Structure 1
Amino acid sequence: MELTALHLLLWFMVAFTSTAQELLSLRVSPKISAVCGQPVSLHCEVSSSQHGLSIKHMEWYHNNTSLCTMNSEDKNPIINPGFTVSDFDCKYHQGKLTLIFKKLQPMDTGDFGCKLRSNKGTRVKSTTVELQECCGQVEGVMEHGRPTCTFTHVYPDGEVRWFQGSHHQKLGQITLKNVEDGGWLTIQSYLEEKKTGLPYNCSLWSTETDRYITSTLVTDLDNSSVSRSPLGNGAGSQGRTLIDLIVTVLLVVTLI
C-alpha cells in the first residue's frame, strides 16, 4: 500500500512538472553560421498557454556578461555597452527580445544565452553563433625585390601558399601573423629570393575548411599587383594559376 502511494506521488510530481513546463516556454534562434560583413539577429521569444503572463525580466548575455536587459518597468531594452567589440542593438516587442549585430566580430562568436523571469516561472535557453571564413582584402607587391603579399581582416587562421607557374614554392617563405582588434588576423608573407620567369601566385588556404579563401598575383611589372576577391566556390590553385598566366601574357602583349 505504501509503495503504491509513493508511486502515485512520484507520478503526480512528474506530471505536474511537465504541465508547468508546457504552460511556459522560451524559444531562441537555432545555431547561426554568420556571413562575414552581414548583420546577425538572435531572437528570444516567450509563450504561455495561461492567461495573465507578466514578464518581469528578459536578458541576452554572452560569456556570462549581460548585453541587454528588458524589465517590466522599462519602455525599451537597456543596452550594456563596453562588454563586446561588435556594434549591436536590442529591440523588444510583445514577449520577443531581439539581439542585433550589425557586423559580428570573431571575438563575439560562441554561446549566447537568454534569461526569463515572469510571474509564471523562470526559463533559460542558449544558442550558438559561428562566423564563416572571410578575408577583407589581399594585396601583392614586389617589396625590396621580394614577392610579398598581405591578407587583412582574416578569419579564421589560414596558411599562405606560394606558386610560380605550377610549382609550389616552399623554400625561403617567411610568414608573420598579428591579431587585430576584434580578433581579426593580419597575415603577411614573403619569399626571401625572387626567381626570374613567371609571376607569383600567393594564395590563402583555410586550415578549417580545407579550401582556398582568396589569392593574388604578384608581378614585378612596374612593381604593381593584382588583388583578388575571396573565392566563393573554393577554387583550387591550378585553376587560379591558369587565369594568372593568361592575365600575365595579356599584360606583356599590351606593354609591347
Structure 2
Amino acid sequence: MMKASSLSPGARTQHVFGLVAIIWFKSAVSAAGEALELQTIPGVVAQCGDNVTLTCDASSLLLSDIRSFNWVGRNKSLCKHDDEHDPEVLCESTAETTHHKLTLTLINVMPVHQGKYLCKLSSKIGVKYTSSFVKVQDCFGGSDSSRNESHAVCWFNGVYPSGTVHWFQGNANSTESASTQEVEDQHGQYNIISTINVKKNLPYNCSLWIPGASKYLVTLVIQPSAVKVKASGSTQIKLQWICMMMEIMMVKFIM
C-alpha cells in the first residue's frame, strides 16, 4: 500500500511564497492597468470644410513602457506617436515624464470622414483604448433656380445629410407633381435637382427639407418672369451640371 507523499516544511514554505509572488505580480499588473488613464472627447460635431482636432491623453505611464500609441480611423492607422502619419491629416505627439498626448487633426472634413476614431495604446502592462465619434451635419454648398414658360427648376449642391425638395405655389403643396434627382459625389455630399411643370403665372417656392434635422435648410422663390443668363464662368459649369442631371432623370424615366 502506497503512502501519499507530503511536502517538507521548507518546501511547503517555498511553495507558498511562490503562490504569493504570482498573486502579487498579477495584482500589481492589474493595478497598473487600472491606474493608466486614457482620455479623449466622446464626440465632435462639424460642418463640411471644418478642421476637426481629436486629442488623446495618456497618463501614469513612462515613455519607455509604450509600445505603440496611435489614432485609427477609416480602417487604417492615421496618426502615431513616433510621427508616422497619414498624409491627409496632421499629427502631433507631445510627452512628459508620465503624461503623453497624441493629437489628430482632420483637414477639410467631409461626410466621408464621419465615423468612429479609435485611440489605442499598447504598453508593457497591456492594451487600452478609447474612441471619439465625428459627426458631420448642416453642409450646404449653394443653390440656384431657373424658369421658363412651362417648367421651373431648382438645384442644390454640397448638401449633407441628404434632403428632399418641397414645392409650393402659394399655400398649395405641389411636391407630388415634381421630379427630383440626387447624385452623391466623391466626398459624400449630395447634388440635388428638382423640376416641376408650371401651370399658373404665379411665383413658386422651392424648399430643401432635411429629414434628419427636421428643418428647411434653404428656400428659393422662383418668380414667373424668365431670366436669361449668360452661360459663362461658374454659370456655364452649373448649366452643364443641370444638363447632366436632366439626362440622368430622362434615362430613369424611360426605364
8 Å CA contact retained: 1:149, 1:188: yes
Corresponding residue for 1:79?
85
Residue 70 (structure 1) aligns with: 81
Paired residue for 1:20?
Answer: 32
Compute the displacement of 1:161 (Å). 0.2
Pairwise mapping of residues 80-229 of structure 1 onto structure 2 (< 5 A)?
A: 80-81=86-87, 87-94=88-95, 95-142=100-147, 145-191=150-196, 193-223=197-227
Question: Per the alignment, in what secondary structure is the counterpart of residue 108 of structure 2?
Answer: coil
| Contact persistence 2:47–2:136 (CA under 8 A) | yes
Structure 2, unmatched stretches of 5+, are 1-15, 230-255
Partner of 1:246: none
Per-residue Cα deviation, 1:21-68 (whole angstroms, up to 9, x for no partner): 2332211222112133322111111100x6665433221111331112
Give the number of equivalent residue pairs: 207
2: CA distance, partners of 1:119 / 1:12: 17
Does residue 56 in structure 1 map to residue 62 in structure 2?
Answer: no
Larger-gyration structure (1/2): 2
Q: Partner residue of 2:241?
A: none
Give me the whole-angstrom Cα distance separating, in 2, the residues matched to 1:15 and 1:144. Answer: 82
**Higher relative strand content:** 1
TM-score by length of 2: 0.71
Q: 1:147 to 1:14 in 2, by over 3 A?
A: farther
In 1, distance between residues paired with 2:198 and 2:166?
15
Displacement of 1:194: 0.7
Structure 1 distance, partners of 2:34, 2:62, is: 13
Q: Is 2:114–2:136's contact at 8 Å kept on the other side of the alignment?
A: yes
Instruction: Provide, for residues 148-202 of structure 1, a one-character-per-residue CA deviation record: whole Å limited to 9, x for no partner.
Output: 11110111111110011111113421001101011111111010x2122321111
Query: Quick check: 2:148–2:225 contact (8 Å CA) kept in 1?
Result: no
Amino acid at match of 1:33: V
Give the conservation status (yes or no) of the 8 Å contact 1:138–1:150: yes
TM-score (norm 1): 0.71
Q: CA deviation at 1:98?
A: 0.9
Letter in 2 for 1:141: S
Q: 2: CA distance between counterparts of 1:51 and 1:91?
A: 18
- Return the offset for 1:16: 4.4
152-161 vs 94-103, which deviates more?
94-103
After superposition, the CA RMSD in angstroms is 2.9
CA distance in 2, matches of 1:127, 1:209: 22
